[in-house]
Structure 1
Amino acid sequence: MRLTVLLSCFGLAASMAVCALPTQVAAQPTPQRDGTFLKSRLEKDDTNEDGQVTREEFSGPAPMFQRLDRDGDGKIDIKEVVNSMSIRRPANNRVENLRSSRDVEVKRDVVFGKGGDRDLKMHLVFPKTMPDKPLPAYVWVHGGGWQSGSKEGGVNQVSRMVADGFVGATIEYRLTGEAPFPAQIEDCKCAIRFLRAHAEEYGIDPNRIAVGGSSAGGHLVALLGTSGDVQELEGNGGWQDQSSRVQAVVDLYGPTDFSKFVTTKGFESHNRPGSPESKLLGGGEVLGNNDGIGRVNPITYIDDQDPPFLIIHGTEDPVVPMNQSQLLHEALESAGVETQLELIRGAQHGGREFATPEIRELIQTFLKKNLQAPE
């Protein structure tokens, strides 16, 4: 996670009613600038002591959470935030937003279906000038442990591909506080069916839809890739006459096999009731819920008809063990599915290592290769 913001006034005494402006913050004493104060406050918020602070745990204002959660996965990595305090970068992602806005246009909050009894929405991202021929689509699914996060950060995630001749979408789905699995994958599949049903309206080629996501979003896009048209996961959110299959998958450090996850050394706490994985399964300890573990695992549904996968994971990920991506890659390979596993040495759970020019080019090349227009 890249820290691109100076400290603001989160976690201060309740009597302080007004936050300092960024220009005022720059003049704070050294302990606040070097991360000591911020580290202390984040560690107090980290109630489950996993080194991550979720939106629910965070005691500060929502705008500050969004600033610190630079990779948009719904969690603040305490170690990376503190280590990054000496790195001076733009105060937020406005520069990136401005760069993207010159090339793309965003249609916000398009209702794509129903999740339970409420509307589900997506943002659609288009090139400034749409060509006459339909374009491939790249759909981003956010992370956040299935319990937090939003579709907002996905606009930047898809903008580069949109500038290169795609239509982008960033979608919401029901979080575990609202409903356990399979609500999340049902909503993602509904979004794919919606785009296919409205392909002509939005200038999309319905036979060229790719998905990408990080962390919990990586899990969901992997599941989209392997469970195309599996009826038990389709739900009834709308557009049931359309297929939910996708044509390419970019999975960034997504979980897969919970039984291996929670028995990996250093990750045993994820077996406990109340962990993100437990919440996804509906509560209780993860181990012992064999039906649930199998049902959420993308590996369960693999066959030789699955689309190409690009899987990227950090070797020092403290949140999702690297073996989750390795297991998926090996299973896809065994089934004869095209798959590429990129392990980033020393990288953790998100962060600047996943946004280098080399990794961005890797993703762009993969998507362009697998979603080329037919001759």
Structure 2
Amino acid sequence: MKNATRHVLMFLALSASSLLAKDPKQIFSEWDRDKDGKLTLEELPRNARPNFQRVDTNQDGSISLAEHENFLKRPRQPRKTRPLPEGIKPLLNLSYADTDNPRQTLDLFLPEKRKLGGPLPIIVYIHGGGWKNGRKESGIGKLGPYLKTGSFAAASINYRLSGEAIWPAQIHDCKAAIRWLKGNAEKYGFDAERMAVWGNSAGGHLVAMLGVSGEVKALEGKLGKHMDQDSRVSCVVDFCGPTHLLSMGKFPSNIDHDAANSPESQLIGGALQENKKAANKASPMTYVTKDDAPTIIVHGTEDPLVPFNQAKIFHEALTEAGVPNTFLPMKGMGHGLSGPVVDESVRKFLEAHLLGKK
């Protein structure tokens, strides 16, 4: 029941964020297939249907344009940020690109009581949100348990969203953040050579890209003051990340990935199948080589947003190239990943690669 509830909430969030990006009347017209000026439950996309009862305020069994517009304009509660564990020093909104853009900032978290002597390894979280939503504050839920041990430092980064700049701006930002962290490692007491990156969905795509593109100069960008640093990472935790954009539309999904308004198409600035070169340049599969970072791939077999195949083909490509990787298919899970099996697998992976535990 808890998993089902999570899936519904995820659909609601996805639906609302997608609607806000387009004109409400245009959306209404696209969904109103019989052009009768109202929307039935059957006319709504599957990921919007959980909202039906909430939008149909007069409960007449259909949604009018006025009800549709009122729903999109409703007041929204500010999102809550999870509290930090006790004993953690936060350094917030640090600019990594030497700009005043809040999308080019990171939060750094340092345990006040360190369990290990010497510089700590660091875990860097990159948020999801279809490259058009999301914020760095969402990372503390994943990072908190590791910070509490006193054995890890952590960071969570923002990056420019697709509504502001298209690819490769997102990976340029992520790499600038990694370089900034490496350039400031001694100052803050963490080890630049023991750095994991962890992301979910769009963040999974970006951490996968970091893992395979350490030597790809075309993706490096020229942001920030630390161009003397490289952007290689020690290991990658990829949750549900897209890895080959052109093949996403070939598998069942609640999203038409090939459509011009899909998150992937908005990322590269045009419909995927009409911009294949750009789509391949934005796909981690394009850059896999034998010297890539060790990776754990975790993906729900019933993911309704990013097809499970994206994990499978990435695992196969890494394995063929000789890259150490762990593939964890979560049977029956969707786009939200949680539970003891996931938590324990990620913990063992990070401890092995950052702490040297077997």
TM range (shorter): 0.7 to 0.9
> How much has 1:147 moved relative to structure 2?
0.4
Assess, with a 3 A threshold, how the Cα gap between structure 1 residues 61 and 137 changes in structure 2: closer, same or farther. Answer: farther
Say whether 1:240 aligns with 2:221: no
Alpha-carbon distance, 1:188 to partner: 0.4
8 A Cα contact 1:115 1:187, kept in partner: no
Contact 2:181 2:192 in 1 (8 A): yes
Query: Per the alignment, do residues 322 and 104 of structure 1 end up closer, same or farther by CA in structure 2, a change over 3 Å counting?
Result: same
TM alignment of 1:46-195, pairs within 5 A: 59-63=73-77, 66=79, 97=83, 100-114=84-98, 120-130=104-114, 132-164=117-149, 165-195=151-181
SS at match of 1:346: coil
Q: Displacement of 1:177 after TM fit?
A: 0.4
Report which of the two has the higher share of helix.
Answer: 2
Moved more, 217-226 or 117-126: 117-126
1:63 and 1:208 map into 2 onto residues whose CA distance is 39
User: Within the alignment, does 1:301 sit opposite 2:287 as a pair?
Assistant: yes
Match of 1:315 in 2: 301
Contact 2:246 2:272 in 1 (8 A): yes
2:240 is the counterpart of 1:253:
yes
Question: Does residue 26 of structure 2 align to residue 41 of structure 1?
Answer: no
Alpha-carbon distance, 1:174 to partner: 0.3
2:202, 2:51 → 1: CA distance?
26
2: CA distance, partners of 1:157 / 1:342: 18
| TM-score calculated relative to the size of structure 2 | 0.77
8 Å CA contact 2:94–2:105 kept in 1: the answer is yes
Could you give the per-residue CA deviations for residues 248-286 of structure 1, whole angstroms, max 9, x where no partner exists? 000000101111102224467211111111111112x21
Distance in 1 separating the partners of 2:203 and 2:113: 29
1: CA distance, partners of 2:324 / 2:167? 28
Shift of 1:40: 2.8
Distance 1:139 1:39 in 2: 38
Does the aligned pair in 1 maintain the 2:251–2:307 contact within 8 Å? yes
Measured after TM superposition, the shift of residue 355 of structure 1 is 2.3
Aligned pairs (5 A) from 1:193-208 = 193-208=179-194
Residue 265 of structure 2 corresponds to 278
Alignment partner of 1:101: what SS? coil
> For 1:348 and 1:258, how far apart are their aligned partners in 2?
19
Structure 2 gap ranges (5+): 10-15, 17-48, 58-70
Which residue of structure 2 aligns with residue 360 of structure 1? Answer: 343
Instruction: Quote the Cα distance in structure 2 between the aligned partners of 1:198 and 1:302.
Output: 29
Summarize the Cα distance change of 1:262–1:38 in structure 2 as closer, same or farther, 3 Å threshold: closer
Mean alpha-carbon deviation: is it higher for 271-280 or for 108-117? 108-117
Query: Counterpart of 1:14?
Result: none
The count of residues paired between Structure 1 and Structure 2 equals 299
User: How many angstroms apart in 2 are the aligned matches of 1:249 and 1:205?
Assistant: 16
| TM-score (ref. length: structure 1) | 0.74
Structure 1 residue 359, shift from structure 2 partner = 1.3
In the TM superposition, residue 373 of structure 1 has moved relative to its aligned partner by 5.7
Whichever residue aligns with residue 63 of structure 1, its letter is Q
The separation in 1 between residues aligned to 2:194 and 2:163, in whole angstroms, is: 33
Instruction: Specify whether residues 168 and 269 from structure 1 end up closer, same or farther in structure 2 by C-alpha distance, changes over 3 A only.
Output: same
The aligned runs of 1:13-52 (5 Å cut-off) are: 39-41=52-54
- Alpha-carbon spacing, 1:43–1:373, altered in 2? closer, same or farther (3 Å): farther
Instruction: Tell me which moved more, 337-346 or 115-124.
Output: 115-124
Tell me how far apart the structure 2 counterparts of residues 133 and 167 of structure 1 sit (CA, whole Å): 12
127-136 or 172-181: bigger deviation: 127-136
| Distance change >3 Å, CA 166–CA 270, structure 1 → 2 | same
Q: Which amino acid aligns with 1:128?
A: E
Cross-structure match for 1:27: none
Q: Secondary structure at the match of 1:241?
A: coil
**Pair 1:287 & 2:300 matched:** no
- Mind listing any 5+ residue stretches in structure 1 that lack a counterpart? 6-10, 12-35, 45-56, 68-92
Distance 1:42 1:229 in 2: 50
Aligned match of 1:210 = 196
Q: Find 1:369's aligned residue among 347, 352, 355.
A: 352
- The percentage of aligned residue pairs carrying the same residue is 38
Alpha-carbon distance in structure 2 between the residues aligned to 1:219 and 1:147: 13
Task: Describe the superposition over 1:63-105 as per-residue Cα deviations: whole angstroms up to 9, x where unpaired.
Answer: 36x36xxxxxxxxxxxxxxxxxxxxxxxxx75xx3xx422422
Tell me how far apart the structure 2 counterparts of residues 304 and 336 of structure 1 sit (CA, whole Å).
5
